[in-house]
Chains A and B, each alone.
Chain A
Amino acid sequence: MTGFETLIGILAATIAAATPLLLAALGELVVERAGVLNLGVEGMMLVGAVAGFAAAVATGSPAAGIAAAALAGMVMALLFGVMTITLLANQVATGLALTLFGTGLSALAGRDFVGIPLNPLPRIAVPGLDLLPGLEPLLSQDVLVWLGLAMAPALALFLGRSRAGLVLRAVGENHGAAHELGHPVAAVRYGAVIFGGAMAGLGGAYLSLAYTPMWAENMTAGRGWIALALVVFATWRPGRVLVGAWLFGGITIAHLHAQGMGFAVPAQFLSMLPYLATIAVLVAISRDAAQIRLNAPACLGKVFHPER
């Protein structure tokens, strides 16, 4: 095996490892930009993973699996929305409860699907791949990888350049003012939360349909939390989420490769790195009040009550 092939292997594995983080974090980014903090990402990913797997096994169709995963994530998110947007429950507590609920629900629903194998999602190659020998592992990926890669610039455009994106950001920055201007704060937040649920569901489905095509309890193994950290790490910018996901994914993969090549790397330190990096970013942006105002949505996590 040549050095070039190994390098391509590392890059391909990095992109794969980054995909569930990327999908879930992009969804959460939109949610947070609308001023809602949903800590239930891990739970929504798990429910998406089991729903996607179950649908793919039952129908034999990967497309049905992907659709079911997105739908299941949306239902979970809707539940969160009703609790926090309509019933004005505390977002942090509700989000944590959603994760606990999703973990238990997915384990219960997945009981009959343990130990069933599934073919991985089909890969879609970049046209003209024949002209680029050796790059096949990198440029032939499944639909969810391509979706994640396309979603980052699409969301950047949506949030930065579109009117709807502007309204969404306005709702997140100052829901009182947005409300005064006649924007439907609750409706916008519902939309964002449900979108976040769909993306988290897809992130989970990537694990159960493509990365390790099987259902196993708690198979997200904390990726939902890394996705949440990633949003902060990226200071709420889609492009930086993409880079951050590659970075976090790449650290894991590089670490495994280094071990295989015989370097002794303390694994515990590396599993801390995503969180350390996030804390470092938080500290860096917190030093400067203007920086925080520029980045974190000002109404993040605050309950909106139109009468007040």
Chain B
Amino acid sequence: MTAVLFGCAATLSPTPAAAEDAASGPLKVAFVYVGPVGDHGWSYQHDLGRRAVEERFGGKVVTTMVENVSEGADAERVIEELAEAGNKLIFTTSFGFMNPTIKVAARHPEVMFEHATGYKRSPNVATYSARFYEGRTVVGLIAGKMTKSNIIGYIGSHPIPEVISGINAFTLALRKVNPKAEVRVVWVNAWYDPGKEAAAAKALLDQGADVICQHTDSPAPVQAAAERGAWSVGQSSDMTRFGPNSQLTSIVDEWDVYYISRVQAVLSGTWKPTDTWGGLKDKMLYLAPYNPALPKDVLELAEKARVDIMDGTLNPFAGPIIGQDGKEILPAGKTLSDADILRMNYYVEGVQGKLPR
């Protein structure tokens, strides 16, 4: 009996009538996370966005989320299942979900997809990301003022443009206020591995770093810095409680505004496969409350930079930009284009070590 009913439903579903029926109920929205919601970082912040959507739209929207989805064949299966379950809008929130999203989207033209941090779009796939590097500029200025050893430790996840542009924006700002400071990068090849992140932080501290930055998602580096009395900068979420005397600030992702606007677009039938790359002014990221120990001049410097980035008077990638080899990459008076930032594959002057390929 069930099989018969299921068969009928399957043959009916592509007809317009069935589609309208589905539309008359609440809009089904799904979210796919690469990590556990409990990572207290990247996936956690996306889930806050999901909850903001539920709160805003109440009974008009039903959300589903799948956490801990590995990037690869598994992702395609999960996204496919969500599309078949009648979700009309699906957010896939990790770079590695790009190809699976495109593939599933081709099979489900009636479903709208939103892929975070990717660059491939199609008639029913939009992309979105945040200009994390804008936060790095502010943090670089603070670090340049606060370091005494002039060695900054920076824990990287994967050497992709998003992370590299963060390192470079940080270093450019750092050297603007402190030309003697240098950045040492350690790649842990994971977005989320507390043990390895802590070990990387300790290695950098042993090498004399007194500020630890991270582009990984666990609070372990903040904790390791706090234990040694060093400064740290959090990532993805506010990690203050893991090092109240250590975290200078944190670069926090915020997806609430974007998610609400996209769900609204679907509800009002205005959704388009756009490419959104928002920054501080679009409220796609913000800086966690500054550490109260920051001196007044540093605080003012940071706040001024933040406001200037928001109103466009300060561009994190304004020339002159000098590469690691001492050659000029960008002359004074010019700024890097978005395309240049999105394919950044070099270190600027002031970063130690070679970029892994």
Query: What is the total number of residues of chain B having a CB less than 8 Å from a CB of chain A?
Result: 44
Most buried by B among A107, A111, A214, A266: A214
Q: Are the CB atoms of A1 and B38 closer together than 8 Å?
A: no
Considering only residues 190-230 of chain B, those with a C-beta below 8 Å from chain A are 190, 192-200, 202-209, 218-220, 223-224, 227
Cβ of A136 within 8 Å of any chain B Cβ, yes or no, is no
Distance, CA A217 to CA B242, complexed state (A): 16
Residue among A10, A221, A256 having the largest count of chain B Cβ atoms under 10 Å: A256
Is B121 at the interface (CB under 8 A from chain A)? no
* Chain B residues within an 8 Å CB radius of A256: 186, 188, 196, 199-200, 203-204
Docked Cα-Cα span, A9 to B207, in Å, equals: 9
- The stretch among B253-261, B273-281, B301-309, B348-356 that forms the contact with chain A is B348-356
Interface hit among A57-65, A205-213, A291-299? A205-213
* Bound-complex Cα distance A120 to B227 (A): 9
Interface segment out of the listed A94-102, A174-182, A257-265, A278-286? A257-265
Are B206 and A13 closer than 8 Å at their CB atoms?
yes
Give residues of chain A (133-166) contacting chain B, Cβ–Cβ below 8 Å.
none
Interface residue? B346 (CB, 8 A)? no
Q: Binary interface profile of A, 177-218, with partner B (CB < 8 Å = 1, else 0)?
A: 000000000000000000000000000000100011110111
Are A216 and B196 touching (Cβ within 8 A)?
A: no
Answer whether A114 and B223 are a contact pair too, CB < 8 Å, given A256-B199, A262-B354. Answer: no
Task: Report the bound CA distance from A107 to B227 in whole Å.
Answer: 26
Interchain nearest-CB distance for A207 vs B (Å) = 6
Q: How many angstroms from the CA of A256 to the CA of B242 in the assembled complex?
A: 23
Q: Is the CB of A259 within 8 A of B185?
A: yes
A268–B187 Cα distance when bound, in Å, is 11
Instruction: Say if the beta carbon of B153 comes within 8 Å of chain A.
Output: yes
In the complex, whether A35 has a CB less than 8 A from a CB of chain B is no
* Interchain CA distance A256-B153 in the complex, whole Å: 11
A114 touching B38 in the complex, CB below 8 Å, given contacts A212-B220, A259-B187, A267-B188 = yes
Q: In whole angstroms, how far apart are the Cα atoms of A183 and B185 in the complex? A: 58
Query: Does B241 have its Cβ within 8 Å of any Cβ on chain A?
Result: yes
Contacts of A306 in B (CB 8 A): none
Which residue of B has the minimal Cβ distance to A14?
Answer: B199
Tell me whether A43 is interfacial, beta carbon within 8 Å: no
B36 interface residue per 8 A CB criterion: yes
Q: Which residues of A contact B198 (CB under 8 A)?
A: 211-212
Interface residue from A5, A9, A267 paired with B189 (Cβ < 8 Å): A267
